Amino acid sequence: MYEKILVPIDGSEYSIRALCEAINVAKLTGGAITLIHVTPTGSSVVVSSKQHFYDMLHDTGRTVLSDRLKLAKEEGVKTGTLLVQGDPVDQIVKTAKQGNFGLIVMGARGVSKLAGLIVGSVSQGVIKNAPCPVLITR
């Protein structure tokens, strides 16, 4: 159960908290974590280099993220990264389906901080279309 966990990261503090929860779940299940960041551009090209992944992230998240990942590694949690281009909702849902992920862990909100919404549009779209359970952190 929850052996493959997908964690969409936009660099926001919300997404870092999602990673922390994902690490907790992975420790309980012996699962592996895959971080995915989607850059909003045309065609979907997949790059899995860690450096590229960090480069594309919003400033807030960058250093915190690598600290957390180091911690996860020390605690024996397997982690990988995916950098994908395209529409965030489409790409996250597609990756979850094609990769047979059993759980998605993501933030309620992200970097855009539009007032008045309980969950952002990316979270909403993923909740609506995901092939697996979605854990939303706040």
Ligand X SMILES: Nc1ncnc2c1ncn2[C@@H]1O[C@H](COP(=O)(O)OP(=O)(O)O)[C@@H](O)[C@H]1O
Judged by the rule CB under 6 A, the positions of this chain that interact with ligand X are: 8-10, 12, 14-15, 18, 36-38, 88, 106-107, 109-114, 120-123
Structure token pair of residue 64: 């915190």
Name residues contacting Mg ion, limited to 71-130 (CB under 5 A): 110, 112
Nearest CA to 82 among 3, 8, 18, 2?
A: 8
Pairing label, strands 46-47, 103-107: unpaired
What one-character-per-residue DSSP string does 2-30 give?
Answer: --EEEEE--SSHHHHHHHHHHHHHHHHHT
Nearer to ligand X, 30 or 49 (CB): 49
Pick 63 or 112: Cβ nearer Mg ion: 112
- Which of Mg ion, ligand X, none sits in contact with 15, Cβ below 5 to 8 A by type? ligand X
The entry of ligand X, Mg ion, none that residue 12 binds, CB within 5 to 8 Å by partner kind: ligand X
Q: To the nearest whole angstrom, how small is the minimum distance from the Cβ of residue 124 to ligand X? A: 7
Q: Are 136 and 119 in contact (CB under 8 A)?
A: yes
Which residue lies nearer to Mg ion by CB, 24 or 112?
112
Which of 102, 81, 103 has the alpha carbon at shortest distance from 34? 81
Q: Give the residue with the Cβ less far from ligand X, 36 or 103.
A: 36
Q: Please state the closest distance from residue 116 (CB atom) to ligand X, in A.
A: 11
